[in-house]
Amino acid sequence: MSKNLRGLSERKGLEHGLYEEIATAGSKGQGLNDKNLEAAIERFLVGKSLVLGVSSFYDFLSAEHRGKKVFVCDGTACLTSGRQEVVKESLLERYREEEIGTVSCLGHCHSNTAYLGDHGVLSAEDHKPADKKIFTGTNAGNPALIAPTGKISEYYSVINEYEDRSGALREIELSGLRGRGGAGFPFHLKVKSSQEAKSDRKYVVCNADEGDPGAFSDKWLLEERPHSVLFGMLMTGLITGADTGVIYIRGEYPGAVGIVKEAILRLDSENIVGGLLRGSKFRFYVVEGSGAYICGEETSLLNSLEGLRPEVRTRPPFPAVYGLFGKPTVLSNVETFANLRYILKEGGAAYAALGTEKSPGTKLVCLDGVFRRPGLYEVKMGTPLKEVLNVMGGGTRYPVKAFQVGGPLGGIVPASKVDDLTLDFESFSREGFLLGHAGIVSVPEDFPVIKLLEHLFEFTKKESCGKCFPCRIGSIRGKELLTGASESGEKIDRQLFEDLLETMQLGSLCALGGGLPLPIRNALQYFSRELDGYFTSKTYGHE
Ligand code: SF4
């Protein structure tokens, strides 16, 4: 079934595909009316259920968004900082309650004042565009990611040094680059699999659907260093034989969408890529998301691009051999692609030397608005976490009891464990946490941990694609248990709660349902004194 729909979708191509048709027809808070719905059905020869199933999946196209004029960020950092209420109060001076909705993280965790309006992301402080420059810093002498791009033609001319494309793949392998979206999968293996796959068509897809609250590094790269991302995609395409690069940017980042489109126009108008490729072609497409966190999961993203309901696909097959429209596709995250220019210019060994043996290179780390110097830092892998938080970030402005690192599915690191961690994949995993995307959200001393857990279950409930029961139902049951305990004084049966976590962890198809138990267990372990009263029996914690 999906294969047939995939084939139909491919025939229309990306530019006028089913997703674009539905997203355009239902955008601007109007929802998908009957006229638009019928037009899509006729043009694409698909059933009404498919179009309704797709359109109802996305926040921006859903019935709940209709009639809303502004949207307050409901990400973790805006919640724990207590700023959500402040932003809403300021909006109530201008809008009626029913005109104010919520939106998933806007990537302004460094200021906690942003909201989304008709004209982009605005600051509740002055109701002007919120996209101000943010503070950046690094402890890498020659940073791979935040260094200025310089003259564009020179920047791209590195391609000339790799006429033998296999040499480029060798340098990438030597660099040991691991995917920066969270999973840390060796990047060269994806490229190699796609290169070796036989197909009439191949793709490169950049996952710019950075939905983890607390992370804004992809947003920064897209807006401040778009050519580093485009270069990485182009080079990947040249190695694998792909002629098309698709950048899927979340709709909550309208500024990034415009800037990347401009960067592509510039490449075309100055014939920079065309000149370097000497006849062969590579085209970029920008696709704007419509509000769905799960589209940051690679197979959900592919289904979204194909105009299907973006539920997670079972794997194998993996996207490197069966990706967009069923064709070999290297799909990776913004920061991963952005590293390639440095690797190919300076050499894979130089890149690897910036980090540790198993976590080579640098990592972009985002610090939220509670830090004295909130912003974006390029950090050498292996750097002590306390150096990142207290020296680079200047420490927090008020007492903090924990940091959630790596988004809603990342670990909850108690302040007492900071000294034991270094910033790399292994250290976090050894200590029972997850580095993930490395966005860091502070949990103030007076913020109830039970409220944070409720928020995490609520987030999963809202963003679950619904494909598997443990996540779809488990997230609702977990939220109910926690709300009952925090608001009505009901005790949570500890064994039942543990069974729920185990079912979600073992039975979920992807990292959303399967990953949620990690931060929940961290909290149960390290904040047992605060949480014990909500449960029926004593904890297994180590406070
Ligand atoms: S774990 Fe959740 S998001 Fe992932 S496939 Fe299952 S229902 Fe979908």
Query: Do 191 and 236 share a structural domain?
Result: yes
Q: How far is CA 10 from CA 7, 28, 171, in A?
A: 5, 26, 34
Structural domain contains residue 330:
yes
| Confidence (pLDDT) at 44 | 79
The residue whose CA has the least distance to atom 6 of ligand 1 is: 468
How many CB atoms within 10 Å of residue 48? Answer: 11
Residue nearest to atom 8 of ligand 1 (CA): 465
Tokens (6 digits) for 286: 């920008």
Pocket test of ligand 1: the residue of 463, 472, 473, 503 to mutate, having most ligand atoms within 8 Å of its CB, is 472
Q: What does the pLDDT read at residue 28?
A: 47
Residue nearest to atom 1 of ligand 1 (CA): 513
Q: What is the pLDDT of residues 209-225, one digit of tens each?
A: 998 889 999 999 999 99
In terms of domains, do 164 and 88 share one?
no
Q: Give the residue-averaged pLDDT of 34-41.
A: 76
What are the residues whose beta carbons fall under 8 Å from the beta carbon of 265, sequence distance 6 or more? none
Return the CATH number at 250: 3.40.50.11540
**Does the residue 348 lie in any domain?**
yes
What is the domain-level CATH number for residue 386?
3.10.20.600
- Is the Cβ atom of 287 under 6 angstroms away from ligand 1? no
Same-domain check for residues 376 and 501 = no
Q: Is 25 in the pocket of ligand 1 (CB under 6 A)?
A: no
Q: Let me know if residue 537 belongs to a domain.
A: no
My answer on whether 96 and 180 are in the same domain is no
Q: How many CB atoms lie within 10 A of CB 468?
A: 21
b/e sequence 380-395, b meaning 16+ C-beta within 10 Å: bbbbbbeebbeebbee
Pocket flag, ligand 1, residue 358 (CB < 6 Å): no
Q: How many domains does the chain have?
A: 5
Beta pairing class for 375-380 and 136-138? parallel
Mean pLDDT rounded to a whole number for the chain: 91
Strands 400-405, 411-414: pairing is antiparallel
Give 191's contacts (C-beta < 8 A, 6+ positions apart). Answer: 169, 172, 236, 239, 240, 320, 330
Residue nearest to atom 4 of ligand 1 (CA): 510
| Partners of 367 in the β-ladder | 375, 440
Secondary structure (DSSP) of 451-490? HHHHHHHHHHHHH--SSSHHHHHHHHHHHHHHHHHHHH-P
Per-range mean pLDDT, top range of 29-33, 39-43, 163-167, 233-237: 233-237
381 and 421 housed in the same domain: yes
Is 427 domain-assigned? yes
What span, in angstroms and rounded, lies between the C-alpha atoms of 23 and 32?
9
Last residue of a domain, one of 49, 64, 79: 64
Q: Which of 313, 460, 477, 508 to mutate to test the pocket of ligand 1 (most atoms within 8 A of CB)?
A: 508
Question: Per-residue b/e over 261-273, b at no fewer than 16 CB within 10 Å?
Answer: bebbeebeeeebb
What amino acid is encoded at 63 in this protein?
A
- With contact defined as beta carbons under 8 Å apart, do 236 and 242 qualify? yes
| 142 in the same domain as 112 | no
Residue-level pLDDT at 542? 46
pLDDT tens string 79-110: 888 888 888 989 999 999 999 988 888 888 88
Beta strands 136-138; 120-123: pairing state: unpaired
Instruction: Output the CA–CA distances (angstroms, integers) from residue 511 to 65, 199, 451, 463, in the order listed.
Output: 27, 30, 22, 12
Same domain, 232 and 331: yes
What pLDDT score does 2 carry? 67
- Residue 509 CB–ligand 1 contact under 6 Å: yes
| 58 and 74 share one domain | no
**Based on the domain organization, do 430 and 290 belong to the same domain?**
no
Could you give phi then psi for residue 52, rounded to 5 degrees? -65, -40
* pLDDT value of position 131: 65
Q: What is the mean pLDDT of residues 500-524?
A: 96
| Torsion angle (degrees, nearest 10) of CA 20, 23, 28, 29 | 180
**Residue 387 carries which DSSP code?**
I
Domain presence at residue 184: yes
Q: Are residues 434 and 498 in the same domain?
A: no
**Same domain, yes or no: 404 and 492:** no
Taking the centre of ligand 1 as the mean of its atom positions, its distance from the CA of residue 294, in whole angstroms, is 8
Alpha-carbon gap, residue 399 to 179, rounded angstroms? 33
Question: Is the CB of residue 513 below 6 angstroms from any atom belonging to ligand 1?
Answer: yes
Query: Is 211 within 8 Å of 296 (Cβ atoms)?
Result: yes
**pLDDT for 305:** 94
516 lines ligand 1 (CB under 6 A): no
**Residue 507 maps to which CATH number?**
1.20.1440.230
pLDDT in tens, 144-192: 999 999 999 999 999 989 988 899 999 999 999 999 987 789 999 999 9
First and final CA of the chain: distance in angstroms? 52
Residues 200 and 275 both lie in one domain: yes
Q: Is residue 271 very low, low, confident or very high in pLDDT (cuts 50, 70, 90)?
A: confident
> Domain boundary residue among 319, 352, 385?
352
Alpha carbon distance 20, 280 (integer Å): 27
Range of the domain at 471: 449-531
**Residue 540 included in any domain:** no
Domain boundary among 398, 415, 444: 444
User: Is residue 128 included in any domain, yes or no?
Assistant: no
Q: In a mutational test of the pocket of ligand 1, which residue from 57, 468, 504 has the highest number of ligand atoms less than 8 Å from its CB?
A: 468
Distance (Å) from CA 121 to ligand 1 centroid: 29
Cα–ligand 1 centroid distance for 511 (angstroms):
7
